[in-house]
Amino acid sequence: MKKVNLAIIYYSAYGTNYQLAKWAEEGALAANAEVRILKVDELIPQEVIDKDDGMKKNAENTKNVPIASSKDLEWADAIIFSVPTRFGNLASQMKNFIDKQGGLWAQGKLVNKVVSAMSSAQNPHGGQEATIKALYTSMMHWGAIIVPPGYSHESIFKAGGNPYGTSVSVNQEGQMVEDVEDAVKFQAKRTVEVASRIKNG
């Protein structure tokens, strides 16, 4: 049986979605996938980052994470996106990455990619679901196969019960409020399992 190639592509200003990506990696490796954690290009000017201790620390902590490219999407059988909400929609850094994939899309190279998504916001109703569904809209244009967690495991309920994808709220101290680690790992495992069925028939 061929291993699934999984790209975990994230954007994170302060580190929340980077942590979600690392948990997803753990879940996917346990499901025997080949995994790449990748970040999208930062659009915030460096001088702004340098003035914000949280962003500066996160940039330093993730400086060795590779930048996602179209070649990574070609390589991947499955993709997990992790992105914070911005006014109920995708952070512009992730939208920028998606918008740059027109060449692959035109060649049909994004069709049948297995895709799942995660998100975060400051408040429990700050736009996580809207953000995930907005990302899934783009995936429908790709012809991707969307794999939400649904209510298929007890960890989903423990994490707050988002059937579209794991989401988390973050308090003023930058700490995650809900306990989502198990839900993230389950979502990654489920994504790999579905992709494996497709790849191996």
Residue in 21, 121, 161 with CA at minimum distance from that of residue 80: 21
pLDDT tens-digit map of 145-192: 999 999 999 999 999 999 999 999 999 888 999 999 999 999 999 999
Domain coverage including residue 141: 5-200
CA angle (29 as vertex; 167, 140 as ends), nearest 5: 50
b/e code 126-155 from CB counts within 10 Å (16+ = b) = bbbbbbbbbbbebbeebebbbbbbeeebeb
d(CA 85, CA 194): 26
Helix (H) or strand (E) segment spanning residue 60: helix 53-61
pLDDT at 193: 98
Q: Is 171 helix (H, G, I), strand (E, B) or coil?
A: coil
Number of domains in the chain: 1
Output the tens digit of pLDDT for each of the chain's 201 residues.
899 999 999 999 999 999 999 999 999 999 999 999 999 999 999 999 999 999 999 999 999 999 999 999 999 999 999 999 999 999 999 999 999 999 999 999 999 999 999 999 999 899 999 999 999 999 999 999 999 999 999 999 999 999 999 999 999 888 999 999 999 999 999 999 999 999 998
DSSP state of 4: P
Name residue, tokens 């920028």.
96
The one-letter code for the residue type at 115 is: V
User: Which tokens is 148 given?
Assistant: 């939400």
Q: What stretches of 40-98 adopt beta strand conformation (E)?
A: 78-86, 89-90
Q: What pLDDT does 201 receive? A: 85
Backbone angles phi, psi at 143, to 5 degrees: 80, 25
pLDDT of residue 174: 87
Is 158 in contact with 183 (CB distance < 8 Å)? yes
40 in Cβ contact with 11 (< 8 Å): yes
Residue 49 sits in a domain whose CATH number is 3.40.50.360
pLDDT at site 135: 98
